[in-house]
Amino acid sequence: MGEVVPTIAIFFGIVVRMWHDDHPPPHIHVEYQGFEALVVIQTGEISQGTLPRKVAAIVKEWCLVHQGELMNNWHKAQRFEPLDRIQGADRD
C-alpha cells in the first residue's frame, strides 16, 4: 500500500500536495493535466518539472499569497502532523 500524500488545495484543475518529511527547501508538489512540478514556497518558482506558463503564474501568485499557511503546513509535515487545507486561487 502506497503512502497517502495529503492534498492541501485544488483550484482550476491544479492539484497541490505536500509530502510528510520531505527534503528542503520547503516546497509543494503541483500537478495539472499530466504536468508535474516542485514549486519553492518562498519564491513560487518551479525548481523541478514543468507547468504550462499560465498555470505556473497562477501557482506562483497563490504560493506568495498563502506563504504563511504553506510554511505552517511545511513545519507540520516535518513533524508528521495532519496538514491544513488551504483556500484555492478560485476561492474554493
What is the reported pLDDT for 2? Answer: 52
For 39-88, write each residue's pLDDT tens digit.
Answer: 999 999 999 999 999 999 999 999 999 999 999 999 999 999 999 999 99
56 three-class SS: helix
What is the distance between the alpha carbons of residues 69 and 76, in angstroms, rounded to a whole number?
A: 11
For 3-29, write each residue's pLDDT tens digit.
Answer: 567 999 999 999 999 999 899 999 999
At 1, the pLDDT band (50, 70, 90 cuts) reads very low
Query: What ranges make up the beta strands (E) of the chain?
Result: 7-11, 14-17, 27-32, 35-40, 46-49
With CA atoms as reference, report the closest residue to 19 among 34, 35, 30. 30
What is the distance between the alpha carbons of residues 48 and 68, in angstroms, rounded to a whole number?
A: 22
